[in-house]
Structure 1
Amino acid sequence: MKHLLKVTDLSIDEIGEVFRLAAAYKRNRAVTPKTLEGQSWGMIFYKNSTRTRVSFEVGLHELGAHPLVLSSSNTQLSRGESVADTARVLSRYVHGLVIRCYDHSILEEFASAGNIPIINALSDFTHPCQILADLFSMAEKWTEGDDFLAALAGRKVAFLGDTNCNMANSWLLAGAHLGVNVALGGPESLAPGTEVRSVLAAMGKSVDGHYFTDPHIAAQNADVVYTDVWVSMGAEAEQEARLQSLAPYQVNASVMADAKPDAHFMHCLPAHLGEEVSADVYEGAQSIVFDQAENRLHVQKAILSLLAGK
């Protein structure tokens, strides 16, 4: 049994297989193999969701499974039942769980206590399904075949904004795992945190040479310029301070000019135009944000198939 709690839980070969499967599903969505026929998968949401919920629910349906959508508030979790007991009970009902939560330790406890695959659909630490869809979205722009990993080799991604968020962490882990050059640009007050530094250290890696306080240095010669919202769910109390400290890190025409002329702009959505990205960049020819959003469906179907052993 395998879980997907962070991108490094998949081997490089498994990531390559996810990309090949995703491409096949995308090419011929109408005849998706029913690889999860007869299965039921639970989806537990501690946080609101649009893309994650819809793409997983549709993907499970297209693979032949029955998606059972729950929230922490309408289960006994809201009345104090432990995560461990919930995991042990649900393991006897469903074939896997997709969980979107705040504290990453919730996912680890589900994985430890249960005996079914657990997929991280976002935690405060990392967002592996998003990062895999992002990497696939990049690779499909640069290859005519199915050698997606080769298409990523040597590429540079500049992530600007809150460099102590789940997407920044995901990029650091993915870059270290796959050999993608990741440059983070953000204020010292939101520098990469101790948790991701610890995971990188265990991989023999660090943030040295990958974190800059100057956004123009981070974006220099990038193949992709990436950003995320400045005020994530749960950080609303810090909104004014964040907007002020992150203002220099907006992705706009000036920043895009530092990247390669054919660089792509990416955003995991939802976007706040005029904050982390200017409207002209978001709506411009270099933006591939809706390709990213679509690819969540295809990549997650591939992840589900892989973790189900199909």
Structure 2
Amino acid sequence: MRHFLKETDFSPAEIPLIFSMAAEFKRLRDGSYPKPLEGQSWGMIFYKNSTRTRISFEVGLRELGAHAVRLDTNATQISRGESIEDTAKVMGRYLHGLVIRTYGQEIVDEFAQHAGIPVVNALTDYLHPCQIYADVFTLAEKFGEDGADLASLKGRKLVFFGDCNSNMANSWVLAGALFGIEVVLCGPPSFGPGKEIAAELARIAPGKTPAFTENPEEAIEGADAVYTDVWVSMGDEEEAAARLKAMRPYSVTADLMKKAKPESIFLHCMPAHPGEEVTQEVLSSEKSVLFDEAENRLHMQKAILAQLGEWAKQEK
């Protein structure tokens, strides 16, 4: 059974097909889109609250012809101690697929191991693969002919500011290797890239290590795209004061953006905290592509869901 738990779960030959499908879904948003999941029911399990993830997946499943069953963990037996293995096996008897937004990567891995249906990682503390595919799609739209123009990204430079041991930083490390983008991480030394993502990168790109610097001016030189994320993610609230203090020098300001290429763009997976990781001036500037980026979650996730659904049919 095929799943989408990491960026690397689609092969280099399959990735362009996914992006072409996403571009086609975006062109056909007028209602003429195909419905490859017609008659199916997909579960959406949320361990964490969500706005963009919930809406984009729920709408996407409906537009693909499927019924979305939203499941908050506190309303299931998971909250009372039922094992993931038992839960996954039961859900696999009812549903055609699962979308999961949770904490540890091991949770989506275990669901995938036992459910017998496609599982999609809608966010873990380790990776955010649906977001990163949508972000890459957005870059291709801005620098190429459309979101499927992956050749336009070869050699482009993206700088990520902030917590460089976060899910978004990890996902950008993998995306850089997959799409030929030069990804530079920039943040406090105590929040540098972790050993796990370094090992993951070495598996797909032998000899490569995550590029990291603590110097914002050095990092942003020649950047085509600038990316940041919140400094305090869900689950990190107890560390909020220490994180805010350590990250302050890495706030993306208008002055910092001026040091990137003149045609550079700014991205953020949202929600943003103006005055912390980025200023309102940058968020409101012409360089900001936040809402295109958010919209593209819908189109990209539809492509991922449709392809996984097709592969699942072929296996039966």
Interval containing the TM-score (normalised by the shorter chain) = over 0.9
SS of 2:88's equivalent in the other structure is helix
Shift of the alpha carbon at 1:202? 2.0
Q: 1:26 to 1:57 in 2, by over 3 A?
A: same
Q: 1:36 to 1:198 in 2, by over 3 A?
A: same
CA contact (8 A) 1:176 1:205 kept: no
The answer to whether residue 192 in structure 2 is matched with residue 173 in structure 1 is no
What does residue 262 of structure 1 align with?
A: 263
CA contact (8 A) 1:6 1:128 kept: yes
Equivalent positions of 1:190-209 (< 5 A) are: 190-203=191-204, 204-208=206-210
* Inter-partner Cα distance in structure 1 for 2:301 and 2:290: 17
SS of 1:184's equivalent in the other structure is strand
- TM-score normalised to structure 2 length: 0.95
* Inter-partner Cα distance in structure 2 for 1:147 and 1:79: 44
* Inter-partner Cα distance in structure 1 for 2:108 and 2:58: 19
CA contact (8 A) 1:161 1:230 kept: yes
Q: 1:193 to 1:237 in 2, by over 3 A?
A: same
CA-atom RMSD in angstroms: 1.2
Q: 1:71 to 1:261 in 2, by over 3 A?
A: same
The answer to whether residue 152 in structure 2 is matched with residue 151 in structure 1 is yes
Query: Per-residue CA shift, 1:138-196, capped at 9, x if unaligned?
Result: 10112225752101111111000110100000000111122111000010111111221
* Inter-partner Cα distance in structure 2 for 1:171 and 1:292: 15
CA contact (8 A) 2:23 2:146 kept: no
Equivalent positions of 1:5-84 (< 5 A) are: 5-29=5-29, 30-84=31-85
- TM-score normalised to structure 1 length: 0.97
* Inter-partner Cα distance in structure 1 for 2:119 and 2:36: 18
Q: 1:153 to 1:115 in 2, by over 3 A?
A: same
CA contact (8 A) 1:230 1:243 kept: yes
* Inter-partner Cα distance in structure 1 for 2:48 and 2:140: 30
* Inter-partner Cα distance in structure 2 for 1:252 and 1:78: 42
* Inter-partner Cα distance in structure 2 for 1:12 and 1:265: 26
The answer to whether residue 295 in structure 2 is matched with residue 294 in structure 1 is yes
Equivalent positions of 1:272-291 (< 5 A) are: 272-291=273-292
Q: Aligned AA for 2:248?
A: A
What does residue 247 of structure 1 align with?
A: 248
* Inter-partner Cα distance in structure 2 for 1:139 and 1:165: 24
Q: 1:14 to 1:190 in 2, by over 3 A?
A: same
Q: Aligned AA for 1:66?
A: H
Shift of the alpha carbon at 1:197? 1.5
Query: Per-residue CA shift, 1:254-298, capped at 9, x if unaligned?
Result: 221221100000000000001000111110000000000000001
What does residue 314 of structure 2 align with?
A: none
* Inter-partner Cα distance in structure 2 for 1:142 and 1:182: 16
Residue-pair matches, total: 309
Q: Which moved more, 1:222-231 or 1:18-27?
A: 18-27
* Inter-partner Cα distance in structure 1 for 2:27 and 2:294: 16
* Inter-partner Cα distance in structure 1 for 2:209 and 2:171: 13
Query: Per-residue CA shift, 1:227-274, capped at 9, x if unaligned?
Result: 000000000111111111000000111221221100000000000001
Gaps of at least 5 residues in structure 1 are: none
Query: Per-residue CA shift, 1:73-117, capped at 9, x if unaligned?
Result: 111101111001111111111000000000110011111112111
CA contact (8 A) 2:73 2:79 kept: yes
What does residue 102 of structure 1 align with?
A: 103
Q: 1:205 to 1:31 in 2, by over 3 A?
A: farther
* Inter-partner Cα distance in structure 1 for 2:60 and 2:148: 24
Equivalent positions of 1:125-136 (< 5 A) are: 125-136=126-137
* Inter-partner Cα distance in structure 2 for 1:258 and 1:146: 26
